[in-house]
Structure 1
């Protein structure tokens, strides 16, 4: 072997190693002891989702001596799990970024035993309460306590021992617990207890907030995106496979020695709190964070009021975080893609227009970055490589190390992965492993980037070299080869394009080839820009592009012709039935649509989309009956737009209508699913609040008052509303409850407007 060959071999080996990025060592600090509460992180590790992203992740259990926020900010832990109190930290200037809210409603509650006589939050005065330091500043717990007129200083807070026995024995009077844990244990011991849940007081905040630092996002945006992707993938698997996940936690992460039944109970509760079935896993709503932030300031939970933009604290996985240098580069340079049009379906040229997988991905990246770009067609690989070597703003696509020769470049992250497949005539059986092709003649394009590797890896296959894929298909049609090995999209495209009815995909193998962009080695700025954009490509975006070109489905080896005959017979019968019933179905559908429209007109106010007066009256009667039966609390908010007649008279009725529409939208976006909102008449509205006392209702009314008063209605005056609040009493009927709220509202209107009155 001469010196040149040795040098080339070493170069290829080095380039191969470059493609295998070193795993980045990262830690996730948990804010509680190991349990199902953190299942998604365990699954991401155990199922290799972190490893797929080249991440080596250590999961650290809760420790009293570890400061979650400062640990992340000081890089002692790159990532952590926290509570809504992270918004307080951000208000105080600690630059954290919220990546995902695993629980749309926090599982954190206070529990007291019935024998402690703590029936209401006010009964906590001078009592001992166990909370972790972080939970003590959690929004939901503090809001619940303060909303009941109790000062935090009136409570004797104790450091949490994590021993439920301390609550049972009386060492503490109330304990911070998780809805998914301690209730199960107390029930199993037949101990009567009371749950003080912030959500029952109208405070529904996030739980399980996965977060990092703003500095981590700035320095390592791709790593943050990988972590975000792997964690959510882990949580999705955990909630979809609870039994398997519980078993993994039971065997590997069970420092609390929980039973399988306890873990399953926890999983069930947490899945509901995550709103997984509703598709809300990980979602963080800007409006909800803004309301939590405002509530903190209203309740005085933060002495510092440093303002921050919501986009600075809430992570947007679609946003590409570019440095100033990278932004300047994009503004000043045109990027040129060198493309080979003889490579369908990766690049297809029709009537001087380019399309294909590579072009679709390039257009996607280009739009994400708003690049100034052009595409130049060069079908000679050596000439294309020379273009990359001589111009730092040129780039091209390539697969594998074979395409890496004679080019002074770096490779981007993988744009997509393509599988190796086999095409045969339809009479050949399906193969599940490439080794089944031993001693068979298999056509393969000699210029393919993977040919040399396959030849070494599978020496028993009788490879037949061809100059092009067209020649390979000619040999197949002439029965001179058993099949063709190639990339799945290329084989699928050629079968479809050539309308070869006697060919099929007869095998798809676990040989993956990564499509990457080659960039001049000197242009690290462009490489970083491209990697940041590629990392934002979603699975959905990839699927759209793949499905566009992968049109052939393989045929299995078994003969299912008898199934097709039965299906054909049944299809004929079905067609006859469908034809005979089509007219009837149309009439039924037409009648149903008419009924739905009439029902909507009767129940929904046409202007504001709120319930009509008739509908809201019927809802109120139902809620009154339910309250009389269960006695869980029922409140009413009656409000009216201040000076609305002047708006109509001076600005016009269309402007007035627009104001009412916007107020309705603000209210609908603030209400819970259990609340009902209706238009009583003109500019008067009513909100029915089940399982809500008048203190909670007052908080909600106050938030609505502030939201409306601070909203920009795009008119030349401020719009405000007056609110009246009443709570159901034992002797109440619908009229008396409404009258009290109405009187309270008119009291406000007579005494300055833009206020809340509770009766």
Structure 2
């Protein structure tokens, strides 16, 4: 049994799972397969079969009895297994009715055997199924490479000049379906191929003067838009037909990339020099068995230099330091064919033939060829991208440092109000114990912020894409009182508001200074129109009020009166009780008058111990009554000395033709008339005639 001998020499034998509800048949089949060098496990029902197929055994092939006498028959079990795993399955059956045969065809099974077939037929069927499975895998590999190449790949039948097929990248970029592509010729997507010198290059290829040609042109999409491409053409014979394989690189993004790099004022090698991705196949010993021209461009090694060489020794920097780990990894891969522990795509640092360090993006896929595991690698040179990425990372690191140590608070939140970032200054301004405590706050729903109106303004910013600046006095939940100038700016990503950037500036010191300045300004303004000692208005303010009132009465009519009063014997109070008591007397008089007059009335210190009361819209009769009341109230003032406080009053009403001077003089004359009458009395307008006759 040559087959059996070869099987036992393998480091791991081919695993076969036998599924049959007959114990006798399971034992017989197990003995037969074991004798032929296979590792065998058996299952008596559908549940055991599924468990072994998925978890406990992972067979390379399954012999499946159709009539299991279970909840599911063998065909149903096979369908369930094949939904998750690609395993060759051969059915065993005692019935070969058309219905059974049709059901078998519905699965991707590798045929069926009648249970009474010979042992030789069983072994032959198993070996054929395994070989077919291997061929299918190989075909899948090349289909995978073709379909998933980052370049556009198109194949043309040169006899009818029609496309046979195009890969996914070509179909999507051109905008045609797989069926539509087959009805097109190269000139439909590349009109320039009919023009010289491109036509001459293609003719050289057809005449076998060149093995391949490359040129730049543009492709025409289905929607009539164009895009620049670089095309590499090769002619090959296949089953008596001449086929042209076009390897097309879309140069659109290359041109955009070149423009961006030019703006940063540094030069990089044009993408066309390394535009095509490398495709490599490495066997379970780490040696190269396939190496395309793009790999030569990226790493510098020609196909002759690299085939059957250990690629890792050539392109992995400091390989001698990781050699032992690499050997362990290759042993594991040789046995399991497992690359799931790698996260595709991988970004790695490599070296080229000239010892230069390059960065690559590597995608690895395991595939079994000739019963041995191989790794298919697709490699893209990302050296310049990596440099830009490092530059951007450094820039963001710098921005982060600036934000962390900024003299203002900086926050960032998402569109739901959750805090994404907060710098140290925010914690200081709020009096927060930590970043974690601060980030627990939702800026849109936290009651404290809602109460201060902050949440409403943030919501307005997010909903209306609107920048908002405002000042607010705030008391944080950690007991910190402060004034803040808040700047809320929407954060935009992909033309959508995804959150907000918030600048928090502590302006407490500024506000305190502003309040101090405001109060000083109020005090200075008050001093400009009030008497510093008594708090009554000053002479200048009164004159302005009288001027305005006279103009108003002249224009609209009406009346007003003034009361001029002078404190009696004020010099005696100063001389006998001291100037402090005199000042106190003045303040008491002002206080007494203010308690009685209206808000619309104006009390002003006219000079020394003289005061004038301006009474708008008040006839002289009512003014006289008020003067008498004030006289009585003043006479009740008590000073910290034996002297009494009294005052003499002159009451004058506005007359047609009056000026400020004439009105005040009349009131002054009346006041002196009161003095002559014995002081502490009131002289009013009715005495005017008498005064004029004096």
> Do they fold alike, i.e. is TM over 0.5?
no
User: Could you tell me the TM-score, scaled by structure 1's length?
Assistant: 0.25
More strand by share: 2
Higher RCO structure, 1 or 2 (CA under 8 Å, sep 6+): 1
User: Could you tell me the TM-score, scaled by structure 2's length?
Assistant: 0.27
Q: Based on CA coordinates, which of the two structures has the bigger radius of gyration?
A: 2
